[in-house]
Structure 1
Amino acid sequence: MTVRELENFFKLKAFTQVFTFGPTFRAENSQSRRHLAEFYMVEAEISFLESLQDLMQVMESLFKTTAMTVLSNCPKDVELCHKFIAPGQKDRLEHMLKNNFLIISYTEAVEILKQASQNFTFTPEWGADLHTEHEKYLVKHCGDIPVFVINYPRALKPFYMRDNEDGPQHTVAAVDLLVPGVGELFGGSLREERCHFLEQRLARLGLTEAYQWYLDLRRFGSVPHGGFGMGFERYLQCILGIDNIKDVIPFPRFTHSCLL
Structure 2
Amino acid sequence: MLPAKVRACVFVASRRILNSCRFYCHKTNRKQRICEAISSVEVGAHITVQGWVRSVRLQKDNLFLHVNDGSSLQSLQIVASSDLNDRLLTFGSAVEVSGNLVKSPSRKQDVELQADQIHVVGECNPVDFPFKIKDRHSLEYIRQFPHLRCRTNVFSSLLRIRSEATAAIQSYFKDNGFIQIHTPVISSNDCEGAGELFQVEPSGQGTDQDKENPHFFSVPAYLTVSGQLHLEVMSGAFPRVYTFGPTFRAENSQSRRHLAEFYMVEAEISFTKSLADLMKVMEDMFRSTTEHLLANCPDDVELFHKHVAPGQRDIVDLMLKKKFNVITYTEAIDILNNSSQMFSFNTNWGCDLQTEHEKYLVKHCGSLPLFVTDYPYELKPFYARDNQDHPKHTAAAVDLLVPGVGELCGGSLREDRLELLTTRLAQAGLEETYRWYLDLRQFGSVAHGGFGMGFERYLQCVLGVDNIKDVIPFPRFSHSCLL
- Short-chain TM bin: over 0.9
The DSSP-based 3-state class of the residue aligned with 2:440 is: helix
- Does residue 238 of the first structure (1) align with residue 461 of the second (2)? yes
Separation in 1 of the partners of 2:285 and 2:443? 33
Q: Aligned partners of 1:111 and 1:135: how far apart in 2?
A: 13
CA distance in 1, matches of 2:424, 2:399: 22
Q: Indicate whether 1:209 and 2:428 are aligned.
A: no
Match of 2:297 in 1: 74
CA distance in 2 between partners of 1:255 and 1:99 (Å) = 38
What residue in structure 1 maps to residue 411 of structure 2?
A: 188
TM-score scaled by length of structure 2 = 0.51
The answer on 1:37 being equivalent to 2:260 is yes
| TM-score, length basis structure 1 | 0.93
Q: Which segment is superposed worse, 239-248 or 211-220? A: 211-220
Number of the residue aligned with 1:49? 272
CA RMSD, 1 decimal: 1.1
Structure 1 letter corresponding to 2:441: R
Q: Does 1:136 align with 2:359?
A: yes
Describe the superposition over 1:171-215 as per-residue Cα deviations: whole angstroms up to 9, x where unpaired.
110000000000000000111111111011112222112211111
Higher Rg: 2
CA distance in 1 between counterparts of 2:447 and 2:406 reads 29
- Between the two proteins, the alignment pairs up a number of residues equal to 248
SS at match of 1:138: helix
Match of 1:172 among 395, 399, 410: 395
Separation in structure 2 between the aligned mates of residue 238 and residue 43 of structure 1, nearest angstrom: 18
Distance 1:47 1:77 in 2: 38
User: Any idea what SS the aligned residue of 1:177 has?
Assistant: strand
Q: 1:223 corresponds to which residue?
A: 446
Match for residue 479 of structure 2? 256
Q: Does 1:161 align with 2:408?
A: no
Identity of aligned residues (%): 71
Distance in structure 2 (CA, Å) of the matches to 1:180 and 1:128 = 21
Listed as ranges, the gaps of 5+ residues in structure 2 are 1-235
For residue 310 of structure 2, the aligned residue among 78, 87, 90 is 87
Q: Paired residue for 2:319, among 96, 104, 107? A: 96
What is the CA–CA distance in structure 1 between the aligned matches of 2:465 and 2:417, rounded to whole Å? Answer: 42
Structure 2 CA distance, aligned partners of 1:209 and 1:63? 38
